[in-house]
């Protein structure tokens, strides 16, 4: 066998353990007995260390380290066909890509914030088998990660989200597939007109159309005209844009909505 | 975060003094908060870029009036001007508490902000996220709680892939989580723990550090032992925490620091440490300490104490786990001892709090098992230990306790202690006024005299009796002083005299 030459030496190299006398209880008036100490979380023993930790959190410990500068590169364009958004930092591009292109439904071109939501969308919207199965069993999966509940309808799922998971009832990523022509309540507001759309003018557009649980890339489109077919060429869109959108910015993907009719927006 | 921290000030001499004064003030505020069990801190992620894109101190913008906030929001909604610029202006204004308060009081403002936050336009979304982050950092609870409607979206976005955006969401969540019980009562049912459990598999250091931060904030909650820690232990989070606490040291310690504190909050709550032990927490942490001790002498070690401190605490608390649970922890690596003493030597001047934390672990290591008691002696670490007897009260007390642990093991140990000059150090501690310190010294003397009679003789010859006598009227100490005198010292003195007499009789008179 190929053993190292000094192996047997290490049998002897154990550091000697001094012989121990068996433990006896302490003799009065002496009271010491060795014991492992335990401190609870709020014990004052921890005070100094905890303070140090919190000083770090509050950034009061002055550490002189260099801030990593955001590297600027020369302007470049998004590589996705039809999208010509321009960037000058890699992080900016990464964020754009992740928001608009990464979790995109190839059927209807909608974007989602996560793979999980995308998968759920495809299942519920584009899987013909789903509708059939949904008639017989609970198929609508809860959107919260880690919750395995399933429901027989989109509405039931929404109720669950609101009641159990304390989600807002207007959670943006859970809009039902059926058309809902509910307009926002036009309560007169002295401060901000809340019924005003939040995303350019698209909110109103979305409201009056079939909504879905996703971020629609065409949100940025102000005046979509064509129903379905394919992505509208960006040039055509541009003509419809109000002049406030700079011409270097285009949001690609067109207004293809799949199977819904699209009302022209004023 | 670690690598992002910059020197916010470039102070001159007077600026430096101002900085120190500020730090002292904040430190005493934190101490006061802790004593009231209200120690809460938030983190701020704020880009510091001035006009030409260079890192530097951001020129603080003025706060905004209510009308200005309203106008900004209206303009953003209508898409007038470049929305990103408008949002930037809002964000800068939101650095001020008054603007924050005005903002949340405006009806519909939060709704608009959340709408922008969920926009598909990446740069708008980012800027809105920064506004939200500023609000989350507010010291006004009303402001932070106004962010509650955003939490479901913050959690949804944790599964995204944009590093900077995810990081921002995490720190915003962390700030909100620590705000109040009400906030956590919403975050938990919204699935924050499963969301974090997925997110922890991200390879990005910035994301991981942010995640550690959120978790550490959740785990500090008073209801954590009952409501939060069981959920965490039930998930995949613990094994990832153990992985992350000892990795990435080359990339910077930010991640390890956060998860080390998470582990400390879990371990010191004693909810289910057996689970962590079964996942190998003890060996992971011991190896981590060994690595840190060897790194310490070489590279820049700024902030090392922030990592070492919680790890020491974990090990000390883990050593206390009951035998009945079937998980009595035993460590048999004497290199740990070496590491502890290296830490103590290194941090004695700058961060003395770490010395007492090391000694706590040393106590728990030496209390029951003779292995480490023996190692202290055979590795010749006693002189260093004796040096600690002249430090702060807590350090002296703990060092004495460790010495008692060693002496209690028997005559062989006492012999070594005596050989290596423990008595002179004890004489110094006997001169102190603190009753507890003196009391512990008396316990040590008792153990020495019990196992090693000749120690009593030497003690006498070093004027020990006089050292004792100054305490004979102290009610906390007098019984033990008398016991020592009567049991060991007076008989020793008597035999000395009789010896002297006997030898005088034997010697021929000159």
**Model confidence at A153: pLDDT above 50:** yes
Instruction: Give the pLDDT confidence score for residue A210 in this predicted structure.
Output: 30
Q: Which two tokens stand for residue B143?
A: 């402001």
Q: What percent of chain B has pLDDT over 90?
A: 56
Q: Note whether B378 contacts A92, CB cutoff 8 Å.
A: no
- Residue B5, chain A, CB below 8 Å: the answer is yes
**CB nearest B411 (choices: A21, A30, A192):** A21
Minimum Cα–Cα distance from A43: chain B residue: B35
User: Is the pLDDT confidence value at B427 over 50?
Assistant: yes
Confidence of residue B501 (pLDDT cuts 50, 70, 90): low
Read off the pLDDT of residues B252-292 as tens digits, 9 standing for 90 and up: 688 999 999 999 999 999 999 999 999 999 999 999 999 99
What's the pLDDT band for B505 if we cut at 50, 70, 90? low
pLDDT at res. B483: 92
Contact (CB<8Å) B74/A192: yes
| Contact yes or no for A170/B190 (Cβ under 8 A) | no
Please state, in angstroms and rounded to a whole number, the distance separating the CA atoms of residues A197 and A16.
Answer: 79
Highest mean pLDDT range out of A66-80, A121-135, A214-228?
A121-135
- Between the alpha carbon of residue B439 and those of residues A49, A177, B397, B483, B485, the distances in Å are 27, 77, 10, 13, 14
CA separation for the pair B199, B181 (Å, rounded): 23
Residues of A in contact with B305 (CB under 8 A): 52
Q: What is the pLDDT of residue B187?
A: 95
Residues 195-234 of B with CB under 8 A from A: 195, 197-198
pLDDT category, A230, cuts 50, 70, 90?
very low
Q: Is the pLDDT of residue A245 over 90?
A: no
Q: Which residues contact A4 (CB under 8 A, 6 or more apart)?
A: none
Kindly tell me if the per-residue pLDDT of A186 is higher than 50.
Answer: no
Q: How far apart are CA B404 and CA B426, in angstroms?
A: 12
Residue B269 contacts by C-beta under 8 Å, 6 or more apart in sequence?
A41, B224, B225, B229
Distance CA A152, CA A107 (A): 24
A243 touches chain B (CB under 8 A): no
Of B6, B116, B191, the CB nearest to A67: B6
Query: Quick check: B404 and B445 in contact, CB under 8 A?
Result: no
Check CB contact of A211 with chain B, cutoff 8 Å.
no
CB atoms closer than 10 angstroms to residue B315: 23
**CA–CA distance from B140 to each of B22, B101, B137 (Å)?**
21, 8, 9
CA distance B377 to chain A (A): 9
In tens, the pLDDT along A4-13 reads 776 766 666 6
* Region label for A52, one of left (φ > 0), alpha (ψ between -120 and 50) or beta (otherwise): alpha
A244 and B80 in contact by Cβ < 8 A? yes
* Burial environment of residue A74 by CB neighbours within 10 A (0 to 12, 13 to 18, 19 or more): exposed
DSSP string, B408-445: TT-HHHHHHHHHTTHHHHHHHHHTS--HHHHHHHHHHH
- Comparing CB atoms, the residue among B49, B77, B194 nearest residue A145 is B194
Nearest to B119 among A57, A116, A199 (CB): A199
Average of per-residue pLDDT across A50-61? 83
Chain A CB contacts of B308 under 8 Å are none
Length of chain A: 266
Which residues of chain A lie closer than 8 angstroms to B395, CB-CB? none
Specify the higher pLDDT residue, A3 or B33.
Answer: B33
Cα atoms in the 13 Å half-sphere on the side-chain side of B9? 15
> Which chain B residue has the Cα nearest residue A163?
B189
Task: Tell me if ipTM is over 0.95.
Answer: no
Question: How far off is chain A from B63, nearest CA to CA, in Å?
Answer: 19
Predicted confidence (pLDDT) per residue in B178-215, tens digit: 988 899 999 999 999 999 999 999 988 889 999 999 99
Instruction: Tell me which chain A residues have a C-beta less than 8 angstroms from the C-beta of B192.
Output: none
* Cβ pair A51:B70 closer than 8 A: no
Task: Give the separation between CA A22 and CA B438, rounded to whole angstroms.
Answer: 26
Give dist(CA B256, CA B310) in Å, integer. 10
Of B165, B189, B261, which has the smallest distance from its Cβ to A53's Cβ? B261
Query: A250 is written with which tokens?
Result: 């285009």
Contacts of B30 in chain A (CB under 8 A): 51, 54-55
Say if the Cβ atoms of B19 and A62 lie within 8 Å: yes
* B74 contact A CB<8A: yes
Predicted local confidence at residue B76, as pLDDT: 84
B residues 374-393 near A, CB within 8 Å?
Answer: 374-375, 377-379
Instruction: Determine whether the interchain pair A68/B190 forms a contact, defined as Cβ–Cβ distance below 8 Å.
Output: no
How sure is the predictor about B507, in pLDDT bands with cuts at 50, 70 and 90?
low
Compare A186 and B92 and report the one with higher pLDDT: B92
Q: For residues B104 and B54, what is the distance between their CA atoms, to the nearest angstrom? A: 32
Q: Which carries the bigger pLDDT value, residue B138 or residue A257?
A: B138
Phi-psi region of B81 (alpha: psi -120 to 50; beta: other; left: phi over 0): left
CB contact B480 to A (< 8 Å): yes
- Percentage above 70 pLDDT, chain A: 57
pLDDT average, residue stretch A26-32: 89
Lowest mean pLDDT among A15-19, A176-180, B376-380, B416-420: A176-180
CB contact B306 to A (< 8 Å): yes
B157 touching A (Cβ < 8 Å): yes
What is the DSSP annotation of B65-86? -HHHHHHHHHHHHHT-S-HHHH
What's the N-to-C CA distance of chain A in angstroms? 88
The pLDDT value recorded for residue B21 is 84
Average pLDDT over chain A, rounded to whole? 68
Sign of the CA dihedral running B502, B503, B507, B510:
negative
Q: Is the pLDDT of residue A242 over 80?
A: no
Test B483 with A29 for CB contact under 8 angstroms.
yes
Name the least confident of A206-210, B163-167, B338-342.
Answer: A206-210
Q: pTM higher than 0.80 for the full model?
A: yes
Q: Which two tokens stand for residue B355?
A: 């010395």
Q: What is the mean pLDDT of chain B?
A: 87
pLDDT in tens, B46-96: 765 444 444 444 556 788 888 888 888 888 888 756 888 888 889 999 988
Interface of A with B in 119-138 (CB under 8 A): none
Task: Say what the pLDDT of residue B500 is.
Answer: 67
Distance linking the first and last C-alpha atoms of chain B = 84
- B66 interfaces chain A, CB cutoff of 8 Å: no
């Amino acid at each position: 066998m190929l053993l190292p030459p000094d192996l047997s030496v290490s049998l002897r190299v154990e550091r000697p353990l001094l012989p121990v006398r068996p433990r006896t209880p302490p003799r009065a008036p002496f009271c010491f007995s060795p014991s492992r100490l335990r401190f609870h979380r709020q014990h004052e023993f921890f005070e100094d260390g905890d303070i140090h930790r919190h000083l770090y959190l509050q950034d009061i410990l002055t550490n002189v380290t260099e801030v990593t500068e955001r590297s600027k590169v020369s302007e470049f364009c998004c590589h996705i066909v039809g999208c010509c958004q321009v960037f000058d930092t890699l992080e900016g591009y990464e964020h754009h890509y992740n928001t608009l292109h990464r979790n995109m439904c190839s059927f209807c071109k909608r974007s989602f914030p996560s793979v999980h939501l995308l998968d759920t969308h495809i299942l519920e919207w584009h899987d013909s088998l789903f509708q059939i199965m949904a008639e017989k069993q609970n198929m609508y999966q809860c959107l919260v990660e880690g919750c395995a509940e399933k429901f027989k309808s989109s509405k039931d799922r929404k109720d669950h989200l609101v009641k159990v998971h304390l989600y807002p009832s207007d959670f943006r990523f859970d809009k039902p597939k059926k058309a809902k022509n509910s307009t926002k309540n036009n309560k007169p507001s002295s401060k901000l007109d809340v019924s005003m759309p939040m995303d350019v003018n698209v909110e109103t557009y979305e409201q009056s159309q079939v909504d879905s649980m996703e971020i629609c890339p065409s949100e940025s489109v102000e005046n979509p005209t064509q129903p379905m077919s394919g992505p509208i060429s960006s040039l055509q869109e541009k003509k419809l844009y109000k002049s406030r959108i700079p011409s270097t910015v285009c949001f690609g993907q067109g207004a293809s909505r799949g199977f819904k009719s699209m009302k022209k927006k004023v | 975060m670690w690598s992002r921290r910059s020197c916010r000030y470039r102070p001159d001499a007077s600026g430096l003094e101002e900085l120190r004064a500020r730090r002292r003030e904040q430190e005493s505020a934190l101490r006061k908060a802790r004593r009231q069990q209200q120690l809460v801190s938030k983190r701020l992620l704020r880009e510091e870029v001035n006009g030409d894109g260079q890192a530097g101190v951001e020129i603080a913008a003025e706060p905004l009036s209510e009308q200005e906030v309203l106008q900004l929001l209206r303009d953003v909604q209508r898409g007038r001007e470049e929305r990103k610029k408008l949002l930037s202006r809002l964000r800068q204004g939101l650095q001020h508490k008054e603007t924050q308060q005005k903002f949340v009081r405006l009806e519909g403002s939060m709704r608009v902000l959340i709408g922008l936050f969920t926009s598909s336009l990446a740069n708008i979304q980012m800027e809105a996220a920064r506004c939200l982050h500023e609000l989350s950092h507010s010291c006004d609870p009303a402001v932070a709680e106004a962010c509650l409607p955003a939490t479901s979206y913050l959690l949804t976005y944790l599964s995204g892939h944009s590093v900077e955006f995810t990081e921002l969401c995490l720190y915003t969540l962390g700030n909100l989580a620590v705000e109040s019980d009400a906030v956590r009562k919403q975050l938990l049912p919204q699935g924050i723990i499963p969301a974090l459990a997925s997110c922890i598999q991200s390879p990005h250091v910035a994301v991981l550090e942010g995640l550690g931060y959120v978790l550490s904030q959740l785990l500090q909650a008073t209801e954590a032992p009952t409501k939060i820690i069981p959920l965490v232990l039930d998930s995949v989070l613990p094994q990832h925490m153990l992985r992350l606490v000892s990795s990435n040291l080359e990339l910077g310690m930010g991640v390890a620091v956060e998860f080390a504190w998470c582990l400390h909050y879990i371990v010191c709550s004693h909810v289910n440490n057996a689970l962590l032990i079964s996942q190998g927490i003890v060996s992971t942490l011991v190896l981590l300490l060994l690595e840190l001790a060897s790194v310490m002498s070489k590279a820049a070690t700024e902030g090392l104490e922030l990592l070492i401190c919680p790890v020491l605490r974990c090990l000390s608390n883990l050593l206390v786990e009951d035998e009945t649970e079937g998980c009595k922890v035993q460590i048999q690596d004497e290199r740990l001892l070496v590491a502890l003493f290296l830490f103590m030597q290194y941090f004695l001047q700058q961060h003395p709090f770490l010395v007492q934390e090391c000694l706590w672990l040393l106590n728990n290591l030496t209390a029951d098992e003779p292995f480490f008691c023996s190692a202290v002696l055979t590795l010749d670490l006693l002189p260093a230990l004796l040096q600690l007897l002249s430090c702060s009260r807590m350090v002296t007390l703990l060092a004495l306790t460790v010495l008692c642990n060693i002496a209690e093991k028997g005559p062989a140990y006492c012999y070594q202690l005596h050989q290596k000059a423990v008595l002179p150090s004890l004489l110094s501690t006997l001169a102190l006024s603190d009753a507890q310190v003196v009391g512990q010294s008396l316990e040590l003397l008792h153990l020495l005299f019990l196992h090693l009679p000749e120690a009593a003789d030497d003690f006498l010859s070093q004027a020990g009796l006089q050292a004792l006598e100054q305490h004979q009227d102290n009610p906390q100490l007098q019984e033990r002083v008398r016991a020592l005198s009567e049991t060991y010292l007076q008989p020793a003195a008597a035999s000395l005299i009789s010896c002297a007499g006997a030898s005088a009789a034997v010697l021929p008179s000159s």
